[in-house]
Structures are given as C-alpha cells and as structure tokens.
Amino acid sequence: MRADDLVPLGRTGLQVSRLGLGLASLGGLFEPVPERQAAATIDTAWELGVRLFDTAPVYGYGRSETRTGAALASRPRDAYVLCTKVGRIIEPGGPDTQPIWADPPAGVGPRLDYSYAGVLRSVEESLARLGLDRIDVLHVHDPDEDFGAAVGEAYRALADLRAEGVIGAVSLGVNHAPVAARFLREAAVPGPDCVLLAGRYNLLDQSGLDELLPLCVERGVVVMAAGVYQSGLLADPRPGAPHGYASVPAELAARIGALRQVCADFGVPPLAAAVQFPLAHPAVTNVVVGARSPAEVADTVSLFNQPVPGDFWAAVKTAGLLPEEAPTPA
C-alpha cells in the first residue's frame, strides 16, 4: 500500500489517493502560513501523488478555501477529489470565532447555520472561494453543534445537491464517533456516503471501534480517518507544543511513552505506525493528514510508504496499547 494508490471512495464513483491532504494548517491553524508556502505545500502534495484535498469555510475564515482553489486551478478537474464542509457561514461580524486561527482575515467570522437555506448559501460561497463549479465531497461539519438541524435540514439540502449533481457525495466531518453513528441512523434514506472521522480511530484513541466503524461496514459507508497524529501529540508530546493540549494528561503521556518505546524497539517511527494503522480496518478508505509546508508533506508520504514489520503490531497489542479486536496492517 502506497500513499499515491488510487482506490474507490465507496459507492460514490470517486477515486481517491490513500493519503489525503488536510488543509486546516494552510488556513493558519495555531500559526500563520505564508501564501507562497501554502501554494508550495499543495504543489508538493500533487507531485507526490496526493489526489484528495480536504478544506472547510471555517479554516482561517475562508482563507484555506481561497488558497486551495488557487493552488488547484491549473490541475485537471477530474484528476482530484475536493472536500469541503457546511454548517458555518463566514460573514462580517460572525460571532462563533475560534482562538486556534492565527491572523484570520479582519472583520469576519463564522456563524453556525445548519438550515436548508444556510447550507445552500454556504455551498455557493465555497464554490466562489474555490473557483469551482462543483464539490466532490461535502461534509456536514460538527453536526453535534445543532444536531436536529444538521440531521434534518442540512442533510436534506446536501441530499438534494447530490441528486442534482452539484456535489458527488454527502459526508460528515466529526470529532465524536457516537455523533456520527447517531447521524447515520437518523438521517433520511439513503443517508450519507462517507464519514470524515477526526481523532477517534488512531493509535491513541480507538473509540470509533465501539459502534461507528462496524455500522459503516454494515451500511457501506466509507471512513476517511483524520487526526491520526492526535493533533500532533504523537509528533511532539511536550506540554505546550502546538497540539492543542495546554498540559498532557498523565495517563495519556504514559500511553504515548509506552508506544514510543515499542516503536524504538522495532526501529519504527511512531508517525509511520500512526499513519498506517487506521487503513487496516475495512471501513477506512484513506487517511487525511494536515501539513503546513512542503517538507511536512514529503515526510508524511515517506512515513506512509515505510515498511512496518508485522511483529511490531503484535508487540503493540501485547503491551496493551491496542485492543485485540482492532485490525492491524498485514
């Protein structure tokens, strides 16, 4: 399995690379990214065979979408899959601001809106920022923020857009596996095609196994696994590092230390294990990893393609760091 392998995205008719590029960082997640560096990051991903790109209106309050569209403008439209999200409108004075965005555009912010009309407006504005006439995969972003409207009006709007061919697939972008499972059960037939699951199926958190992943297999819904580095904790577990944790809980720190020790025993980079692990599950089609520079993209591709011995995974389970029922790479 290689990062640039193209595989079907479930029942959608789309083809995606095993590795997708998450574009939150290029909107200024935690620290600013210069525009030229953002373009070079996407260019490098393209050169290395990445053909799935995932953005959102809230990423830098429109900045990520604008940069993504500009960087992909010269690429053949049918040669890549573009994902973005609905649930937040970016507008002057939008009140639902988030402190994680560095140097966002002045005077604008997000406003939660999962209404039918709000979703249509969001899609129209995303298309304008991206410079595109269609979106391949559209996620309902953080449906737990207003679940009733998200599973009702937002889903109905996306289902209509899917039927009209404006979008290729309906998906969810979630940080909580139970929310996604509930959405799949309550959405009108035929339901979403995909789930972008962030931080709930990786080496540090396998809560997606409890209900969501088996349900996805049962219903033919494919999963894109994001947050496989657990917000950067596996890359740099120091307190205060840019991973979103002001302090790392002692139990989690001990788990990271034990995992890193097994990796050291087998000569396996922790991030190589992290980026490859989710793909062993039959529900998971690809992984989506963020990057803020060409070097980070190249490193992730190299880690994805690095061989990991099978006995490494057995040792991880023996150490009690993965449940026995979690599939591991061959």
Measured CA to CA, the distance from residue 243 to residue 30 in angstroms comes to 9
126 three-state secondary structure:
helix
Cβ partners under 8 Å of residue 71, min gap 6: 38, 39, 42, 43
Strand partners, 286: 224
Q: Which of 54, 113, 142, 193 is catalytic?
A: 54
Cβ distance 287 to 275 under 8 Å? yes
Dihedral pair phi/psi, residue 60, rounded to 5°: 70, 20
Can 236 be counted among the known catalytic residues? no
Report the distance separating Cα 154 and Cα 114, nearest Å. 5
Task: Please pick, among 59, 80, 114, 245, the residue that the annotation labels catalytic.
Answer: 59
User: DSSP secondary structure string, 140-205?
Assistant: EE-GGGGHHHIIIIIHHHHHHHHHHTSEEEEEEEES-HHHHHHHHHHSPTT--SEEEEESSSSSS-
Q: Which amino acid is at 324?
A: E
- Provide the residue type at 210 as one letter: D
Name the active-site residue from 4, 61, 80, 85: 85
Question: Is 85 assigned a catalytic role?
Answer: yes
Measured CA to CA in angstroms, residue 91 lies from 58, 94, 96 at distances of: 11, 5, 11
Catalytically annotated residues: 54, 59, 85
